[in-house]
Amino acid sequence: MLCIFAPISTDMYLPALSTMVSDLGTDAVMMNMTLYGYMFPLAISMLVMGPLSDKYGRKWLLVGCLVEYIIAFFAAAFVADIYSLIFLRVMQAIGSGGILTISTAFIKDSFYGPAMTRVLRINAIIGVAGPVVAPILGSFLIDAYGWRSTFLAPAAFATLCLALSLFIDETLPDEERVTGGLGMMVKGMKTIASNRVFMLFMVMICMMNMPFMGYLSVSSYIYEGTFGFTGTQYSLMLASAIIGGMLISVLLGKLTANIVNRRVIPLYLCMGLVGSIMLLTVSHLSPYLFLAAFILILGASTTVRPWGMGVLMRSHPGDSGTLSSMINAMFFIVGTIGMMCATLPWPTYIFGLGCIGMAGCTVYFVLMLIVMRSQGSIKQLDGTPAGQDIE
């Protein structure tokens, strides 16, 4: 449940942006600040909350983030101007970043080996499904109760999660917590960051998120503007892409279970590359070719992230919060870059997404060469099948 906070926090009110511009007496540029003003503080919050959870534990920090999140969303439902909304979006991002990071740390604390990778894959699938469900639910709420209800709904959902979180056990014992002050927490992050191959691998597994987040930001313009689809038809195509990506992720998980991790790396590149080439060459001819291209890219993104997170976490025992915060922050930073690039003045949005996909694949390829040549830097890559673990 916790992994869905980012999409419900960002995508639920998107169908009402034009109405909100009028009601709050602002313009589209300022309204877009409610999106960018959320994504960057979200990444910063992740980097801070992870080390804090390594020092103070998971449970009560999660409870605090949920309380802050609830207050910020409830207040946003009653704003009268755009500046108050932007401020509250920043506050929402702080709570959401902590929730997402701590939920990942909970997984590392509670699961090991292949079981952790499977749970991370489920976590990623749910997180990807969120951007589909959130706008559909948001449209219903907007039609029935107005745009302010799209802020009350996440507050209500977070309240349910808050009630449930009070019954969970702390997963980080006192003896395993980081000791010392801020300096020790920063030192833990520097220790991880000092492993060059480790960091490059982290960036690599996030690159497929760049075209996917770009797709989410402009897909409605493509389906409705370029292909003439209705809003309902667009929602169905978006759902089809998500379902297709999920099926590919499940299938790849089974097919690669006995393949050494290092040999799996090029597979995700090939999928992203084929999808990007389709976007540049044939996807403008048919909405179904466009759909097929993004099913490939989405399948790669949904599979490589949990697989890569599992490799990194099993290769670096301890500091679960710090590690998960760095991975999640990188994931959202790369995704935000994709969203911003997708809205540039390209000849067509489809062409722009193809260029973003190719750029992501190029970076992935370069980093892959470095990682593949660095034997032993990430122990879980060497001689370890994707569906197994090493001691």
Q: What is the CATH number of the domain that holds 158?
A: 1.20.1250.20
Q: Where in the sequence is the domain holding 4, given as residue range(s)?
A: 1-167
Round the CA-based radius of gyration of the chain to a whole number and report it: 20
C-alpha–C-alpha distance, residues 35 and 189, integer Å: 28
332 within a domain of the structure (yes/no): yes
The token duo for 180 is 């010392």
Residues 323 and 267 in one domain: yes
Domain for residue 184, yes or no?
no
- Pair (213, 154) in one structural domain: no
Residue 175 resides in a domain:
no
165/154 Cα distance (integer angstroms)? 16
**Residues 245 and 128 sit within 8 Å (Cβ to Cβ):** yes
Is 119 in the same domain as 243? no
Strand partners, 385: 260
> Which is it for the CA torsion 365, 301, 14, 157, positive or negative?
negative
Total domains in the fold of the chain: 2
Both 145 and 269 in one domain: the answer is no
Helices assigned H by DSSP within 111-230: 113-145, 149-165, 182-193, 196-206, 209-220
Domain co-membership, 218 together with 333: yes
Which residues on adjacent β-strands are paired with residue 260?
Answer: 385
Residue 137: count other Cβ atoms within 10 Å of its Cβ. Answer: 16
Tokens of 196: 């060059």
pLDDT string in tens for the chain (391-residue length): 666 776 778 778 877 777 888 899 988 778 878 877 788 888 888 888 888 888 888 889 999 999 999 999 999 999 999 999 999 999 999 999 888 888 877 877 777 766 776 777 677 667 666 766 777 788 888 888 999 999 999 999 999 999 998 988 888 888 777 776 666 666 767 777 787 888 898 999 999 889 988 887 778 778 878 898 876 677 678 778 878 888 888 888 778 777 767 778 888 999 999 999 999 999 999 999 999 998 999 888 888 887 887 777 777 665 666 777 788 788 888 988 898 898 888 999 999 999 999 999 999 999 999 888 876 556 555 555 555 544 4
Q: Whole-angstrom Cα distance, residue 178 to residue 276?
A: 43
CA distance 259 to 346: 40
